[in-house]
Structure 1
Amino acid sequence: NYAEHVLRMARPGRTAIVHATEDGLAGEVTWDELADQVGRCAAGLRRLGVGRGDRVAAYMPNSPETVVALLATASIGAIWSSCAPEFGVPTVVDRFAQIEPKVLLATEGYRYGGKDFDRRGPVREIVAAVGSLEHTVMVPSGWEELLGQPAALEFEQVPFDHPLWVLYSSGTTGLPKAIVQGQGGILIEHLKKARLHSDLTPEDRFFWFTTTGWMMWNFLVGGLLAGSTIVLYDGQPDPRGMWQLAETAGVTAFGTSAGFITACMKAGVEPAREADLSRLRALGSTGSPLPAEGFDWVYEHVKSDLWLFSTSGGTDLCTAFVGACPVLPVYSGELQARCLGAAVEAWDEEGRPLVGEVGELVITEPMPSMPLFLWDDPDGRRYRESYFDTYPGVWRHGDWIKITERGGAVIYGRSDSTINRQGVRMGTSEIYSAVEGLPEVLDSLVVDVPSADGAESAMWLFVVPADGGEVDDDLRDQLRRRLREHCSPRHVPDHTVAVGEVPRTLSGKKLEVPVKKILMGVDPARAASRDSLANPEALDFFVRLAASG
């Protein structure tokens, strides 16, 4: 039982969870308190009729209550699923209605960017739309009642392949895939990642900025498997505030996104000067490729002797399959190694392995945390089409990767957003590295739009100018020169246009494919689920551009 293995790491009197908000540290939960609350919560769920195989859904923030509820759900053999409270009602219903939960745990509100958001109205809409729900527990008002009766910890013994939780694909197109992962597979995978790859110990304080709607939240909870203290933060990731949190919470392993590091660079943040990071020994980055400039900035402005690791994986496996290795050197712009038990290769179109060249990221052997199945996919057809359609019997992940001669890796972005110029395939990350290296550019997005008549496609580069203005001739010339010099003449776009902001998913990934589809004439409602985006209003520009012809 997953929860049993988490709680066997309990250390009397030691801290299991540190919780922080935009207002600062909000409290701590000891291991004793965590075990007590998990037992009480499990008993409360049983009183509500939850048993083995039932689903418990959570519309909750990144808080200790959510961690307790996950572990309680797992302890009784029920199946967990969560959405972040900033998700809109249609997005939540698209997810939870698929899995038919019996109980919903829902927050009454949350704070983000200094503003309070009341979620009681959306919760009522969700309850009305998800017909399987028998009980709704509002937090905090109903939390004490749920945990009202002391109860001894009981762990339902389940098969290795018993479902632990349901995660969802990004939801940028169509109904999201409901991905079911197993207790045993996740336990082994997260133990491996926490102890061997992240080198976590009971003396560590492990933080990763995430929300409950991203797999990194599940991964963060997995830090408890190493006996580490996990640090939860609920709120807006302020470029300066996160480093202050690292100081006040005593973070030793700090995880974030490549986008956050880039934002700190652009904002002129000086973490080494602005916070005491003496306890910080490791910094992890994920979500998108971290360019070499990001590595340079971390070692110059954060700490010169820390271990910086970039990782790449996915919701589909709830892990990273290339990334951290504590006994190997760090090379700028590279992921250190393929992870233990992850048979990752770069393949060409004919299924031949490549070294030193960019190819499709494939996994040639099973991994423990691969999905058991997709929900409501009884014959497995959608599962096979999602991962095994290109190379029969071999997992194709949908990223471009290069395996270096020294065994490291470089990720070049999604293969389905690849740019094809005169027959030469190019990843988008190298373009972003060049373009966003200019101080005049805050952010950028590049898409390659096929021509309706079969002629050469058009490459569009959208940039967010630092001065908030337009792309004038000087900036356009700078961009052309830089792309020619840093990449190649083929990397120079056909069109360069200013935008106010780049649309991103809640995990910080740029919306390359949905924007491409919108510019190809696909109905915007089909191209992207706006409620699952961090900044849905950023799509409006592209919708207008497509409509203008």
Structure 2
Amino acid sequence: MKVALKIAPAATHVAEGAHLWTPPAERASAAAVEHFRYWVNARLGLDLPDYDALWRWSIDSNDAFWAAIWRYFDIRSDTPYARVCSAREMPGALWFEGARVNYAEHLLRHESRSPDAPALMHASELRPLESTSWRELGRRVRIVAEKLRALGIAPGDRVAAYMPNVPETAIAMLATTAIGAVWTAASPEFGARTVIDRFAQLAPKLLFVVDGYRFAGEDFPRDAQVSEIVAGLASLEHVVCLPYLQPLDAPIVPGALRWGELIEGPDVSVAQFRYERVDHDHPLWVLFSSGTTGLPKAVVHSHVGILVEHCKLTAFHVGLRPGSRPMFYSTTGWMMWNVLLSGMLQGATPVLYDGCPIGPDPAVLWKLIEQARVTHFGTSPSFAQIMQKDGLQPRRDFDLSALEMVLLAGSPAMPETFAWFYDEVKPELWVTSQSGGTEFASALVGAVPTLPVHAGEIQSRLLGMDVQVWNEQGVELVDQVGELVITNPCPSMPIRFWNDGDGQRYRDAYFSTWPGVWRHGDWIKRNARGGSYIYGRSDSILNRYGVCIGTAEIYRSVERIADISDSLIVCCELAGGRFFMPMFVKLRDGGALDEKLREKIKRQLRIDCSPRHVPDQLYAVDDIPYTLTGKKMEVPVRKLLAGWPLEKAANRDAMQNPAAIDWFVRFRSDNRVMLSS
């Protein structure tokens, strides 16, 4: 379909918290979370009248809540669990001791219910949209799992993947976890050193690799990177290569197995195959922190913790059901890839896409949404802002009749972003935002299908998540910005960090501020009706003369200006207790940061925010540095300007656009006297 593009004017201001949508009564009453509320009331003799009451019960009667999740979703275990939770303490709480479960088994159990229905849909810049049935997916997973066993991969062994977002990667993950081995992944745009820093911590026994990938119409062979990664992992016994760019070429690693060899073999029936059901604390996978500075944290999750959490999340807070088709633009190195595949727990059909979301065709994802009949679309707020600024009007140009929900994640979502989806995509949408992270492979605050939508507002705290907002003295706040903390454990908290024998690194990361209370590192405000606003990482908050300023509110104001494509702001501490708060703006093509634009930016910040929000200086930059998961690199830039060497302040291989950091290195060198005085 031909898409007409126009340059959009500055976004219309939308008041934070303005009401945008209320779910129709029939839609709210049909939600799985409502069915669960009725079920709990009937089974346990309760009288919980609404979501707020259900949430409060999930916290006050935490063991009863998670026991109800176990029963409601019919969790399969070899043995009954002895108790739900060992103790209400963090860290150290043990969940469902005595149970033996397998996560992959639950993802694939819909094979017997709907064998010919699509289990996965997938497309890329190299491949057209195709689907894989539950029967075929299960068949391939079982063949690969048995091949892995034959190669000597045993429960607890680590299997790593340097693979794109394609069905082969999903099959490899399911096969690995089906036999009790431990999965970890990095997407192929990662540099070799970044991958080695991650994988070497785990000493993997087998590595899946790809020969290259395509992004924005350009091919990126990874022969050299793969060779360096293999050489840097002394623990490897086997390498499996997917020839993706050049399907007929020999493996890029001498002696490696080709994917085709792994996937070929006699069928293994469901009855013949044995899932490795594992103990309550057996590792499922290892996810890594962004690693923008320092060695990435290797976050270990358990089968049982992720299983109960993802059952709850996908059904009650995303609203997935058999036949749903969720698509979240992600790479395999981000936890949202794992969450996307978890939709199979509800019989949903994840839609995978590998490639650039905005180029060379800026409407590529909307075309895929139309073609695949996507029902739940997950994306980053920055993607929506690009669509908005480029004047894309999906509502006019595409058939979006199947689309029910938009889920924004990865960074704070502005009120104007919410409003754009209602104006230009679909007025009947459930548009929501969430915040959580790698540590939980889930959300802490997020979507609730029975509640109204307010501009920029995250609807509520999720069931079982005891989220509070605290000030520095540990006093709970309402309608004020403070630290996001968690005061009770939940099953998907990390069971540990890898190679952290005494747990000290784990405690230092989250429990050093308030022992026994999880400090998440996000700056958050919760209002009286229960909605939340995330204002960015608390370690990137602008502390100017003792007044804390969230960067998200500054970006919201400045990036409504049509001449501004992107921006980044930091606050540098100088000698004598002074501060220097520069702002760096990326201009639209042909723009210039002249005095008129400078004054316009300052005036808008004074009007939208306050005089304290106005930067000390404005600078035009070539590009704004982002992590591979789409987060602005505020902390690394601040460290650079404070004099840190580049190799300690930022990891180039963990960036979307490594060249962007070079401008700031030159800026530091040119302004050394000013930044040091």
Offset, 1:455 = 2.5
Alignment partner of 1:144 is 2:260 = yes
Q: CA RMSD in A?
A: 1.0
Partner of residue 513, structure 1: 635
2:513 to 386, 390, 408: 390
Aligned partners of 1:25 and 1:249 also within 8 Å: no
For 2:653 and 2:230, how far apart are their aligned partners in 1? 17
| DSSP 3-state at the match of 2:352 | strand
Task: Give the secondary structure class of the aligned counterpart of 1:224.
Answer: helix
Q: Does 1:206 align with 2:326?
A: yes
Aligned to 1:103: 206
2:489 is matched with which residue: 366, 390, 396? 366
Is contact 1:56–1:79 with CA below 8 Å preserved after alignment? yes
Aligned-pair distance for 1:500?
1.3
Identity percentage of aligned residues: 53
The corresponding residue for 1:445 is: 568
Partner of 2:231: 128
Contact in 1 for aligned 2:126/2:214 (Cα 8 Å): no
TM-aligned CA deviation for residue 23 of structure 1: 5.3
Aligned residue for 2:522, secondary structure, equals strand
Structure 1 residue 275: Cα displacement: 1.2
1:323 and 2:446 correspond: yes
Q: Corresponding residue for 1:424? A: 547
Distance 2:444 2:110 in 1: 25
Regions of 4+ moved over 4 Å: none
- Checking the alignment, whether the CA contact within 8 Å between 2:122 and 2:352 is kept in structure 1 is yes
Partner-residue secondary structure (3-state), 1:507: coil
In structure 2, the partner of 1:226 is 346
> Mapping of 1:29-68 within 5 angstroms?
29-68=132-171
* Secondary structure of the structure 2 residue equivalent to 1:99: coil
Measured against aligned partners, the alpha-carbon deviations of 1:451-499 in whole angstroms (never above 9, x if no partner) come to 1x13321111111122444311101100111000000010010011011
SS in structure 1 at match of 2:636: helix
Unaligned runs of 5+ in 2: 1-101, 244-250, 252-257, 673-677
| Contact 1:180 1:374 (C-alpha < 8 Å) held by counterparts | yes
2:429 corresponds in structure 1 to: 306
1:455 and 1:388 map into 2 onto residues whose CA distance is 29
Counterpart pick for 1:482 among 599, 604, 607: 604
SS at match of 1:221: helix
Residue 103 of structure 2 is aligned to residue 2 of structure 1: yes
Moved more, 390-399 or 21-30: 21-30
User: Is the Cα–Cα contact under 8 Å of residues 55 and 79 in structure 1 kept in the other structure?
Assistant: yes
1:15 maps to 118
What code does the residue aligned with 1:285 have? L
How far did 1:145 drift? 1.1
Q: Is the 8 A contact 2:581 2:617 kept in 1?
A: yes
Q: TM-score, normalised by structure 1?
A: 0.99
Q: Distance in 2 between matches of 1:509 and 1:328?
A: 28
Q: Show the counterpart of 1:341.
A: 464
Does the residue aligned with 1:156 lie in a helix, a strand or coil? coil
1:120 Cα deviation after fit: 2.2
Question: What's the CA shift string for 1:64-120, capped at 9, x where partnerless?
Answer: 111111111111110000000110000000000110000000011111110111112
Say which SS state the counterpart of residue 259 (structure 1) adopts: helix
Higher strand share: 1
The correspondence for 1:167, drawn from 287, 291, 299, is 287
The amino acid across from 2:262 in the alignment is: L
| Structure 1 partner of 2:301 | 181
Match of 1:352 in 2: 475
Deviations 1:246-269 (A, max 9, x none): 001110100100110111111111
Scaled by the length of structure 2, what TM-score is found?
0.80
Residues 314 and 320, structure 1, Cα contact 8 Å, conserved in 2: yes
Partners of 1:308 and 1:91 in 2: how far apart?
35
Q: Please point out which of 496, 500, 514 is paired with 2:618.
A: 496
Equivalent residue number for residue 5 of structure 2: none
Output the CA distance in 1 between the equivalents of 2:582 and 2:125. 37
**Does the alignment pair 1:270 with 2:371?**
no
* Deviation by residue 1:496-529 (Cα, 9 ceiling, x = unmatched): 1011111001111100000000000001111111
Aligned to 2:172: 69
Structure 1 window deviating more from structure 2 (116-125 vs 32-41): it is 116-125
- For the pair shown, the structure with the greater C-alpha radius of gyration is 2
Aligned-partner Cα distance in 1 for 2:158–2:171: 16
Deviation at 1:22, TM superposition (A): 2.3
